[in-house]
Amino acid sequence: MAEITKEEITKWFQGLQDSICNSLEKLDGKSTFKEDQWDRPEGGGGRSRVIKGGDLIEKGGVNFSAVSGPTPEKILNALNLPEANFFATGVSIVLHPQNPWVPIIHMNVRYFEMSNGIWWFGGGIDLTPHYVIKEKAQNFHQYLKDTCDKHDSEFYPRFKEWADDYFFVKHRNETRGIGGIFFDRLTVKDGKSKADHWQFVKDVGETFIPAYTDAIEGLRDKNWSDADKNWQKIRRGRYVEFNLVHDKGTKFGLDTNGRTESILMSMPPEANWEYDYQPKSNLELETQEQLKKGINWIA
């Protein structure tokens, strides 16, 4: 069997971006994506696609990139890597909804290799509801478990715990949302071939639309109040805090001189930071109490 190449992986990620954008435009029913193609001076570039002012999506992005060149010293030191050129490609998605009852969703699937033969896959999907609804959380995690179980029964518990630990706002002592799965640096040392990991990453990418379609069903047209909208903006503020303070993908993009507008497309259109905000309703309090690690959502 021929070795999987970076060109093959890159082409598939471009196709994933296309198919997800087409599906999201149909789901939204109002707005369409606007594309910016960009080049990175040191090597490579990407296609940034942003949708805004939609019926479903207030602001969202589906980005593809394939960048290359000398590995910046910050990355070498952070990842404990030997000096060599790098190549990185992937698709990253963040969707901020109009309706506060609809959750924020994020996905990233990516591949990294170096000219010295080092390579790995990474990625994951996670959900950040403004109001946690147990049934929706259960369904979302079931989609991810079903995808993981096709490959290894240990993947879901392992990657679910990884997501709980990764998507954690340390300075708030709370998780960003209800988590999902997160994995990084998957390579042959994990007992699987490159083809095995690549098929898993592809299946994760193709889980996004059905999982998101289920997550919004029955919620996108639900009535909401000014208080709901304010709570949404408070929760968006916590989302921003995680992305700017803790997220390694944001740091990697900025440290590799990526396109700033594309890297920061994950930011919501509006967010609030109200001093010493305390939950003002039972629903807000119940959500706040469920932002913690180790919850078995499927049980």
Is the separation of the CB atoms in 22 and 29 below 8 Å? no
Q: Give the whole-angstrom CA distance, residue 280 versus residue 36.
A: 41
Domain limits, the chain: 6-289
- Alpha-carbon distance of 292 to 178, in angstroms, equals 8
Please list the rounded mean pLDDT of every run of 10 residues in the chain (299 residues). Answer: 89 98 98 95 94 97 96 86 94 98 98 95 98 98 98 97 97 97 91 94 98 98 97 97 91 81 90 96 96 94
Please report the sign of the dihedral spanned by the C-alpha atoms of residue 90, residue 200, residue 217, residue 134: negative
pLDDT at position 262 is 83
> The tokens 């208080």 sit on which residue?
227
Q: Work out whether the CA dihedral 200, 90, 21, 95 comes out positive or negative.
A: positive
Q: Measure the CA angle with vertex 178, ends 207 and 266; round to 5°.
A: 70
Helices (H), the chain: 6-28, 73-79, 134-149, 155-166, 194-216, 226-245, 248-255, 260-263, 282-289
> Among 230, 246, 132, which Cα is nearest to 179's?
132
Residues with catalytic annotation? 106
How many beta carbons lie within 10 A of that of residue 149, not counting itself? Answer: 12
pLDDT at position 1, please?
57
pLDDT on residue 265:
86
pTM recorded for the entire structure:
0.95
pLDDT of 281 = 95
Position 258, amino acid: G
One DSSP character per residue, 136-176 reads HHHHHHHHHHHHHHTT-TTHHHHHHHHHHHHSEETTTTEES
C-alpha span between 99 and 129 (Å, rounded): 11
Report pLDDT for 128.
98
* CA quadruple 8, 14, 18, 20: dihedral, nearest 10: 90
Residues 293, 142, 65, 17: is their CA dihedral positive or negative?
Answer: negative
- Give me the pLDDT at residue 216, please: 98
Q: Give the count of beta carbons closer than 10 Å to the beta carbon of residue 23.
A: 15
Distance of alpha carbon 256 from alpha carbon 263, whole angstroms: 11
Residue 10 is predicted with a pLDDT of 98
- Specify the amino acid at residue 192: K
The conformation of residue 71, written as its DSSP 8-state character, comes to P
Q: Per the CATH hierarchy, to which homologous superfamily does domain 6-289 belong?
A: Coproporphyrinogen III oxidase, aerobic (3.40.1500.10)
**pLDDT reported for residue 80:** 86
Strand partners, 57: 97
